[in-house]
Amino acid sequence: MAVTTTPRQKVGWTTANFVVIVLALFPVVWLLSLSFKTPTAVLDPSILPAQWTGSNYAGILTNYQFIRPLINSIGIDLIATLISVVLASMAAYAIARLRFPGKSVLIGMALLIAMFPLIALVTPMFTIERALGLFNTWPGLIIPYVAFGLPLGIYTLSAFFREIPWELEKAAKVDGATPFQAFMKVIAPLAAPGMVTTAILVFMACWNDFLLAISFTSTTASRTAPAAMEYFSGGSVFTVPTGPIAAAACFITIPIIIFVLFFQRRIVAGLTSGAVKG
Amino acid sequence: MGDSGRTRGRVRRGGAPRRMRLSRRRLVAVLAGAALAGSALAACGTSSAATGPVTLNFWFYPDTSPATNDAVANCNNQHKNLYKISYQQLPQASDGQRQQLVRRLAAHDNSMDILGLDVTWEAEFAQAGFLAPWTGQYKAEAEDGTLKPALETAIWNNQLVAVPDNSNTQLLWYRSDLVKTPPTTWAQMISDAEQLAKEGKPHYIEIQGAQYEGATVWFNTMVASAGGTILNSAATKPTLGAPAVKALSVMHQLATSVAADPSLSVQMENQNRLAMEAGTAAFELNYPFVYPSMKADNPSMFKNFKWALYPGVTPGVPAKVTIGGEDLAVSAYSEHKSLAFQAALCLRDKQNQIIGANLGGVPPTIASLYNDPALFANYPFHADILKALENASVRPKTPLYQVVSIDISHLLSPARGISPKGTEQSMVGQINNALQSKGLVP
Amino acid sequence: MSTTTPSTQVVTGTEAAKVTGRRGRAPLSEGAKAERRLGWMLCAPAVIVMIAVTAYPVIYAIYLSLQRYNLELPQQIKFVGFSNYGAVLSSPYWWSALEVTLIITVFSVSISLVLGMLLAQILHRTLFFRGTVRTTSLIPYGIVTVAAAYGWQYAWTPSQGYLSAAFNNTAALTNQVEAVIVIIIAEIWKTTPFMGLLLLAGLSLVPEDLQKAAKVDGATAWQRFTRITLPLMKPAILVALLFRTLDSFRIFDNIFILTQGANGTGSVSVLGYDNLFNALNLGIGSTISILIFICVAIIAFIFIRGFGTAAPGTNLGGR
């Protein structure tokens, strides 16, 4: 339906957009400016660096061995997200659609895992990983990430799947589609936005993880980006390398921006079309 | 039933009875096993020559200067037939290093051979059985010519558990354009700063006042300079008393005077350095890393950047500054302990300590090096450092040091909240709890 | 072709197989059994992974909480029952940490809910630059928490940061109240996108026709919001609130970087971390963790029973 936009509405939405962008970005701009400042300019509270330097970025790519952790981060997180979303989708479908005993046990367990403080679990998990030879390997981080991403995934996806009108599938079958066709043509497009949103949430959770990354890795073989920032050092034992840390922070945001840019159209298109067609 | 019949049948039919055949098989197995074992043993005996040098994993803080890499390269070159040291990095923050080490040593990880320990960890690691003791010729080499307080940090239960690699201690850094003669006591320094404040000049005294190990270091220095100790020598109870009260009152005096930096309660060494370089401070109590940093960051201020010995608490009595630095220890779970001892001794030998001092900025632990001209160019303050190190105080040695330190630092920071008698009482109570492993850590 | 079968009738083999989603009571129909099996099979991988990874650590943590276990004194390990719990619950450090945690949780969750709702509206309806706004609003969520926390810390450092300079060079992080406010702001900034995203999903389920009909009937925007949108979004709101509250209660990264928990700003997680990793007191540290878990479980219980947050799958309706 055509909507006429009044000038007042235009101004209103533009202002709203502007406010959102500024609020979301000003701390990021600050980090960006820190990443371009020389070690002395770090003292300067102004937003724009008096002297611009690319040495922080050059440094993280060469001295600080940041490339490999970045690759580790992206690889481990993508794989963990994929596995987690697939497993969660299966479970969420079962929860939302089927009846079987033990459902509340499953949900309770998922909640329990989501709630249990990670700090207490780190040491015994470390012992297990060492015993299994998983310490400092990719699976050593992927498996815990999947396990901890599942509760979030199951909850979010069940909420989505509950809202999908399954009668459409039956209607499609009545119309002569095979179950597979019915699923692919009717259900999957409705489920896709939910799965993409869940994927984003799970990916972010893995991406942000610090405790597991620092505890289950010891070399750059599997160390991820947030943990790698712990290893940045300044000119001496006491110097905190503000510039390189800020540069690393900005650098690891780039994959996120790409990831979100790529997916946001998909999510929102699906989300805003509504699950129930008018 | 059928089986037994068959067995009996076989035996009766002739050929070696089953039991004998089994034992022949067993005999063959045993002989084969012996042959394998024998060859394995033989291989062991010649392994070092046949399979090349042993790789020793050296876990140390991430050194951005070339000092550690050079030391490792030197030792690998000199002993290429024996071993090859592989430098593995630990996190930058001291706490992070300790956690990594403890976590893996508690799991008996055998992939760690040489460990870089902060000087306060030896008691804890040794008590937990993580460290291999140094004996015989290795011990003698480790002790030879090493500064006494540095060696003191590596001894626990009358055993040498590590070898001092580098050291660190604080000096008083001041701006000679603001202060003509450096103060020799805290009282004098505070009054100098207050005078500067009246004149509207930069006047802060930079010291580490955040709630972390640095605050404990400050307190330890002050108590020792006032003539006391924090724990008794058996590390069974606190011995704070009058020297501690004196130390606390000086700290409180600083925190409540105009000389205190407003961010004192979140400041660590790095922020002190930055504040000094930014020009808001007149005095700084900090490690020598500030010297090359000032030279690089603020060359004009560098011309007036001078040093002196750490001010004392009692007039006429020199301060006993807390000693810092790193010791090298050998893991109890290492599979090449003997080589690890040798490698550790090499990593901290005279040549490598000079490199550490010049390139890495860390003071050596071998006394004679302080008279070595190779040191002078980068260490114009070498004489003062040596004096400070020879008179240094050691932090309390107990396996529960971390808890004791956390309790102390939480009572000291923010420093303006110190009440000399009250804080001393609280400290005694909390340290007692800590030593009995009672109660929580804040 | 599905036949409607009264639920009390026994349904025989082949017929039952054609009936999906309906089942007889006792005895179970073939269809129902197949449904059960399918349900279990679909859930099995997720369950197996979750159990395999967390069963032993959780049980071990509970076991440790009953021991006097200090890694620094390995010779003194012994079973002490619930005395660790007594020690923690009678310690002033625990209670002040709990207080700080609750304050941070309540404020950051409620404010980020309101802001998230606003954000969801904007993301849903904005006329221009949709892609840009949506991407930029997700950036705070995408930046690694520790990195953003460093940014905030430098920003609030006197004579170094622009925020501190804006407020007259205040050393906000040294003062308990001001530091907690800074922490709350950092939390809100980080988590509003997450709320916004979940609420956007809920918002998109509100049918446009209802809104239009109400508009035609003369309802104001506020009335439409409170009478139509909110009630229909209730499930999404509650799920978002539940997860956000659970996470916020366990806040750690921001506090750790900003203040290291100094000056009375430590949360219960920071307390647990200090006792577990710094003091190496595995007994007390595990006890604190279990107590955190109990608190979080109580919160979840309140949400699920009290507010009726949908525990998914409990209510299949007539589907």
Measure C85 CA to nearest chain A CA, in Å. Answer: 15
Taking Cα atoms as reference points, which of C150, C171, C310 lies closest to residue C235? C310
Beta bridge partners of B185: B312
pLDDT for the residue numbered C311? 54
Neighbouring C-beta atoms of residue B37, cutoff 10 Å = 10
CA distance linking residue A83 with residue A63, whole number of Å? 34
Task: Check residue C29 and give its pLDDT.
Answer: 79
Q: Which pLDDT score is estimated for C292?
A: 93
More confident residue, C286 or B266: C286
Cβ of A115 and C293 within 8 Å? yes
- Say if residues B222 and B170 touch (Cβ distance below 8 Å): no
Q: Are strands B114-118 and B54-60 parallel, antiparallel or unpaired?
A: parallel
Percent residues over pLDDT 70 in chain C: 87
Pick the CATH number of B171-322+400-435 from 1.10.3720.10, 3.40.190.10, 3.50.50.60, 3.40.50.150: 3.40.190.10
Q: Is B405 on the interface with C (CB under 8 A)?
A: no
- A23/chain C closest Cα distance in angstroms: 8
CB proximity A140 to C under 8 Å: no
Residue B76's pLDDT is 94
pLDDT, one tens digit per residue, over B46-76 is 444 446 788 999 999 988 888 999 999 999 9
Kindly report the three-state secondary structure assignment for every residue of C60-102. HHHHHHCEECECCCHHHCEECCCHHHHHHHCCHHHHHHHHHHH
**Mutation site, A60, A137, A237, A239, interface B, largest B CB count within 10 A:** A237
Task: Check B273 against A239: CB less than 8 A apart.
Answer: yes
Among all chains, which residue has been given the structure tokens 């207050």?
A: B194
**Which stretches of chain A sit within 8 Å of chain B by CB?**
39-40, 42-43, 63, 123, 126-127, 130, 214-215, 218-219, 230-241
- The reply to whether residue A260 touches residue C296, judged by beta carbons under 8 angstroms, is no
| Residue numbers in C near B441 (CB within 8 A) | 93, 274-275, 278-279, 281, 284
Measured between alpha carbons, how far is A266 from C51 in angstroms, rounded to an integer?
33
The interface predicted TM-score (ipTM) is 0.79
Select the more confidently predicted residue: A267 or C234: C234
Q: Would you state the pLDDT for residue B60? A: 94
Render pLDDT for B169-180 as a digit per residue (tens, 0 to 9).
999 999 999 999
Label residue B353 by pLDDT band (50, 70, 90).
very high
Query: pTM of the predicted model, to two decimals?
Result: 0.80
Among B219, B439, B436, residue whose Cα is nearest residue C271? B439
Q: Please indicate whether, in this complex, the C-beta atoms of C147 and A276 are within 8 angstroms of each other.
A: no
Residues A123, B278: C-beta atoms closer than 8 Å:
no
Beta bridge partners, B206, equal B284
Judge if the upstream peptide bond of residue A45 is cis by omega within 30 degrees of 0: no
Alpha helices (H) along A164-224: 167-174, 179-182, 188-208, 211-215
- Res. C33: pLDDT tops 90: no
pLDDT over 60 (residue B8): no
C-beta neighbour count of C96 within 10 angstroms: 17
Q: Does A146 touch chain C (CB under 8 A)?
A: yes
Cβ-Cβ contacts under 8 Å, B65 against chain A:
235
Q: Do domains B51-168+324-390 and B171-322+400-435 have the same CATH topology?
A: yes
Checking if the pLDDT of A235 tops 80, the result is no
Judged against a pLDDT cut of 80, whether residue C201 lies above it is answered with no
Cα–Cα distance for residue pair A114/A93, rounded to 1 Å: 20
Asked if pLDDT for residue B398 goes beyond 50, the answer is: yes
Q: How many domains does chain C have?
A: 1
Q: Are A202 and C46 in contact (CB under 8 A)?
A: no
DSSP B146: B
Identify the CA nearest to B310 among candidates B171, B149, B168, B169: B171
Q: Which residues pair with B405 in a beta bridge?
A: none
Q: Where are the domains of chain B?
A: 51-168+324-390, 171-322+400-435
Fold of B51-168+324-390: D-Maltodextrin-Binding Protein; domain 2 (3.40.190)
- Asked whether residue C159 is domain-assigned, the answer is yes
| Distance of residue B17 Cα from the nearest chain C Cα, in angstroms | 50
Which DSSP symbol is given to C302?
Answer: I
Sequence-ordered list of residues with C-beta below 8 angstroms from that of B43, at least 6 positions apart, any chain: B50
**Rounded average pLDDT over C176-204:** 87
Is C114 within a domain?
yes
Residue B159 scores a pLDDT above 60:
yes
**Which pLDDT score is estimated for A30?**
84
pLDDT band of residue C26 (cuts 50, 70, 90) is low
Q: What is the mean pLDDT of residues B290-310?
A: 90
One DSSP character per residue, C21-57 reads: S---SSSPPHHHHHHHHHHHHHHHHHHHHHHHHHHHH
A49, two tokens: 């660096």
pLDDT digits (tens, 9 = 90+) for C148-170: 888 888 888 776 778 877 887 77
User: Using one digit for the tens of pLDDT, what is the confidence trace for A236-278?
Assistant: 677 777 788 888 888 887 777 777 777 766 655 554 544 333 3
Q: What is the mean pLDDT of residues B130-148?
A: 93
Closest residue to B210, CB basis, from C74, C262, C271: C262
Whether B281 and chain C come into contact, CB under 8 Å, resolves to no
Instruction: Find out whether C158 and C167 touch, Cβ atoms under 8 Å.
Output: no
Gap between the Cα atoms of C204 and A201, Å rounded = 18
Identity of the residue in C50, C152, C289 whose CB atom sits nearest the CB atom of A147: C50
Q: Is the pLDDT of residue B7 over 50?
A: no
Beta carbons of B270 and A234 less than 8 Å apart: yes
CB B126 within 8 Å of CB B345: no
What is the H or E stretch that residue B7 is in?
helix B2-13
Contact at 8 Å (CB) between A24 and C140? yes
The answer on pLDDT for B424 being more than 70 is yes
Can you give the residue range of the structural domain that contains C115? Answer: 94-268
Per-residue pLDDT for B13 more than 70? no
Contact C274 B442 (CB under 8 A): yes
Supply the pLDDT for residue A49: 74
Superfamily the domain A65-273 falls into: MetI-like (1.10.3720.10)
Cβ-count burial of B71 within 10 angstroms (0-12 exposed, 13-18 middle, 19+ buried)?
A: buried
For residue range A108-158, what is the model confidence (pLDDT) as tens digits?
888 888 888 888 898 889 988 988 989 999 999 999 999 999 998 988 888
**pLDDT tens string A151-195:** 989 888 887 787 777 787 778 778 877 777 777 777 777 788 788
Sign (positive/negative) of CA torsion B319, B322, B325, B330? positive
Instruction: Say yes or no to pLDDT of C184 above 90.
Output: yes
- C243 and A155 within 8 Å at the Cβ level: the answer is yes
